[in-house]
Chains A and B, each alone.
Chain A
Amino acid sequence: MQEELFTSGRNIPHIDPSLEIWHWPISLYLFLGGLSAGLLFFAALFYILGKDKEYPTTVKIASIVPPIALSIGLLALVYDLTHKLYTWQLYMTFRIESPMSWGAWVLLIVTPISFIWTFSYYREIYPRWEQKLQVFKRFKFLNTVEKFAQDNRIYMAYALIPLTLVLGIYTGILLSAFNARPLWNNAILGPLFLVSGLSTGAAAIILLSKNKLEQHTFGKIDLALIIVELALIVHMIMGYYAGSQVQLEAMELLVNGEFTLMFFGFVVILGLIIPAIMELIELIGFKVPAMVPALLVLLGGLVFRFVMVEAGQITRFLY
């Protein structure tokens, strides 16, 4: 038996007995970042493929979500900083070894593009708003902005493909780069968060779409992504099993501990397996309300971020 005691005045709330520096805003931000990455990736991809007529939700309508989600995510992120007045320091340097620095810069590029992208479709999608608000009449320069955005859509789309992939992977690498937290420290987390982000993006498109073809295609895409995600989760757990003592202990939290119900119940079963089965049934030709699996996938994605962020902080090296 081994026991470790702190006997000094070390009494740091949130560090002893376990570290808890990152709170719900970080989990929320990772979810919204992944979702936005997914949505923008599909918007850019389908635009490049020339499918904007057949897939209006993907390219145009759903594009209203990323600017809002990224803004909320950024606010959440800043809210969790403790030295907020110095936030600008993030943009005084680029640190190639720091995932957080990568994220800060990628967001600085992706967020404005997401605004411009959705703005370029504003008149087309919301003609009634425009009639009421008349923003283009009132602010003449917006016409120039719109024209510029519409002319350069294809370049934005080409830029968005790599940028959204970096954004999606980064949400996972942010965690996996910390070798001090054994639960996070595995190479699968980057791809896993990326796939999960793409899958929540696909689910959001299904949810917003009224077009049968679109719902059907994204049902298929989502199903494929869920299968990949399940495979990656199996991989992750196998990786822990084959890992060192600290990783075995970290894994206990997920498979046989505090977070088991959340992880297997909400993330794996409710958030992945059940929606996959429902989407499969729909593909075979039965009628399933497309809303249900899409909502489950979104919920599962959100819970997944919460589980990983909170459980990871409990795990540590023993010495």
Chain B
Amino acid sequence: MRYAMVIDTLKCVGCSDCVVACQTENDVPVGYCRDWITERVDGSYPNLELELRSERCNHCDNAPCVRCCPTGASHIVDGGVVMVTENECIGCGACIESCPYDARFQHPDGYVDKCTFCHHRLEKGQLPACVSVCPTKCMYFGDLDNPNSEVSQLLKNRKYKTLAPEAGTNPHVFYLI
């Protein structure tokens, strides 16, 4: 089992529904978010290229945040999901410094918080909240180890990229381009 998320940048319209869904589902405190939209503009006028994408923790295989955590609060659970145990976290910030994607933040209660791929929903067989609400259906979620899953098929047939692969983290959120 290896969970992965595939996001189609060609379908994303940047509506931020995924952001709001996550904030609601996970009780994210006001002013914070576990996922966000990046709007990237390349080129110079009038030859501009726009890419919209929904970003979050990449649940990296080679996760620097897990390596540098002094207490083991940051850890990897079944399916490759990177989780933080609240009452083991001392709030040292080492994991925040180590994440090339700035995917983590200090929760106002002190511990470090981030996307969990909605682990509590996965346990019930549901999709992550963001994936389930996307109005353009640009997000896909599934098991990479299963060659017939939707995500495996998409990655087989479409061109894709990951973010900052040069950081060596082996991210598991893929962007179709």
Contacts and interface: CB of A to CB of B under 8 A. Distances in A.
A98 B70 contact: yes
B88 A86 contact: yes
Contact of B40 (A4, A86, A177, A313): A4
A13 to B, nearest CB: 8
Contacts of B99: 180
Contacts of B46: none
A133 to B, nearest CB: 37
Using C-beta atoms within 8 Å of the partner chain, give the interface range for chain A: 35 or more
Nearest to B20: A9
A21 interface: yes
A100 B92 contact: yes
Best-surrounded residue of A80, A84, A98, A316 (most CB of chain B within 10 A): A98
Instruction: Say what secondary structure dominates the interface of chain A.
Output: loop
Interface of B: 14, 16, 19-20, 23, 31-33, 35-44, 64, 67-73, 87-94, 96-102, 105-106, 109-111, 163-164, 166-168
12 contacts: A1-B44, A2-B41, A9-B23, A83-B90, A86-B88, A86-B91, A89-B88, A101-B71, A104-B70, A317-B101, A317-B166, A319-B163
A136 interface: no
A178 B97 contact: yes
B36 A82 contact: no
A317 B106 contact: no
Contacts of B87: 86, 89
B80 to A, nearest CB: 18
Given A179-B167, A317-B167, A92 B71 contact: yes
B89 A9 contact: no
A82 B112 CA distance: 9
Contacts of A178: 64, 68, 94, 97-98
Contacts of A15: 96, 102, 105
Given A7-B16, A83-B90, A86-B87, 10 more contacts: A4-B40, A7-B37, A15-B102, A82-B93, A95-B69, A100-B70, A178-B64, A179-B168, A316-B100, A317-B166
A179 B170 CA distance: 13
A313 B99 CA distance: 11
A19 B91 contact: no
A9 B101 CA distance: 16
Interface string A80-119: 1111101101101101011111001000000000000000
A5 interface: yes
A22 B93 CA distance: 7
A242 to B, nearest CB: 16
Contacts of B43: 1
B166 A89 contact: no
Given A6-B38, A83-B111, A98-B68, A180 B98 contact: yes
A182 B90 CA distance: 25
Contacts of B37: 6-8, 10
A82 B35 CA distance: 22
Contact of A98 (B35, B42, B69): B69
Contacts of A12: 31-33, 105
Contacts of B40: 2-5
A11 interface: yes
A143 interface: no
A181 interface: yes
A84 B91 contact: yes
A84 B87 CA distance: 11
B67 A181 contact: no
B141 to A, nearest CB: 19
